[in-house]
Structure 1
Amino acid sequence: MAYRPTARTEATRIAHRERLLDAARQLLAEGGYAAASISALADRAGVATGSVYNHFASKQELLAAVFRHVAGHELRAVQEAVRARSGAAEQLRALVEVFSYRALRAPRTAWALLAEPVDPLVEQERLSYRLGYHALAESAVAAGVASGELPAQNARLSAAAVIGAVGEALLGPLSPVGERADPAPFVEAITTLCLRAVGADVT
């Protein structure tokens, strides 16, 4: 019955890995990547420092795994919101509003995901998830052009412009040294700007 100890060992390994990822997510939300040192991660997870390397070859690999988990969760939330709407304008509105409000509710985590200087391994993950948002926006714009809801345009370029505008506009409010204010007027303004940029009727 050798499979039983193997199964228990694997379960323990997975549990330790999840504890490390959870600890890294907490530290990321509190102080960004700089706060997620190996010793801090081990201490927060309640494991020996050396055991971290039993699960991740390096701190960079660990942080890339954390980025995939957190960014993937955020992307799925936006995808669900977009798919629940009908029409290009409403889908784009959902994309901008849900992305922005979620970011502004967790500014330190959002800053780490969007703008904090990172290792190339994490930067690769950042680019991958950014392309996921581009694809969402491009699909909505292309469908709007096809249906006549939006004027003829390069859907890929328009999508890149929309995602770029949202990301750039959020940098100030999300910055660790930025001022916090009521997010509603900000989100409404950036949403209107993006809708107008693709020719949607915002009257």
Structure 2
Amino acid sequence: MGRRSDHSPQELRELLLEKGQELMAEVGYARFSGREVAKRAGYSVGTIYNVFGSLDDLLAAINTRTFGLWANWLERELADGGKDRIASLVRGYFDFAVAHPNLWSAIYEHRVSPEKGLSEEDLAGRAVLTGIVEEEVAAVLPPDTDLDTGRYARSLIASVHGHCSYAVTGSFALLDETDPVGSALERVRESLRQNGAKLGLQS
């Protein structure tokens, strides 16, 4: 068993987050154990409460870390995906969820208390991903649009998320939908065109 002096407070926080995210990827939210995280880090379970305050706060921080991975994934998709950046965003959303199903699902399975909410650090970390989408959506909309592009982008994310959730859980297969990515992309393009967007090369 490790000693708290083995790591600085920041190093210990990062270690617990790393081990926590590894465990979440392996077993998913339902089987996640703070005790197992501490064990893998070489500390007692009480260390989680000393560092994060509660298991809920650790879970929130793990999910925020996942948002960071997801944002990096989208950035790579945009860099490598060619001229149709909207298609890259939608495909990147699906591809991340398929590649990391347990991490992706944990974001939505963990319920944060409305009374407590997320910390400023967590909010800022998660805003990076939505900021990427907002920037790409704003880039194709008319400069003089009356839309609140932030709210509109989040609405498009919700539409893609619904399609993605059905695909990851297998529900779309029951509906005989063979191309959920293509379906989500069509809905996004339709909405953007209705609001005057000029879309680039499509694939």
TM-score in terms of structure 1 length: 0.71
Determine if the alignment matches structure 1 residue 116 to structure 2 residue 109: yes
Structure with more helix by fraction: 1
Distance of 1:38 and 1:92 partners within structure 2: 38
Partners of 1:50 and 1:138 lie apart in 2 by 40
Distance 1:79 1:123, change over 3 A: farther
Any idea what SS the aligned residue of 2:52 has? coil
**Contact 2:141–2:192, Cα closer than 8 Å, also in 1:** no
Say yes or no: does 1:105 pair with 2:99: yes
SS of 2:118's partner is helix
Return the match for 1:159 from 138, 146, 153: 153
The residue identity in structure 2 corresponding to 1:100 is: F
Deviations 1:47-67 (A, max 9, x none): 222333332221122222212
Amino acid at match of 2:134: E
Q: Which amino acid aligns with 1:168?
A: G
Percent sequence identity over aligned pairs: 23
Tell me, which stretches of 5 or more residues in structure 1 are unaligned?
1-8
Q: Secondary structure at the match of 1:33?
A: coil
Alignment-derived partner of residue 196 in structure 2:
none
User: Is 2:132 aligned against 1:136?
Assistant: yes
**Equivalence for 1:21:** 17
Is the contact made by 2:164 and 2:180 (CA closer than 8 Å) also made in structure 1? Answer: no
Superposition deviation, residue 128 in structure 1: 5.7
TM-score of the superposition, structure 2-length normalised? Answer: 0.71
Displacement after TM superposition at 1:110 (Å): 0.8
Kindly report which structure 2 residues correspond to 1:50-65, keeping only aligned pairs within 5 A, or say none: 50-65=46-61
Closer/same/farther in 2, CA of residues 70 and 109 from structure 1, 3 Å limit: same
**Distance across 2 between alignment mates of 1:26 and 1:180:** 29
Please, which of 2, 26, 31 is the counterpart of residue 30 of structure 1? 26
What one-letter code is carried by the residue in structure 2 that aligns with 1:169? H
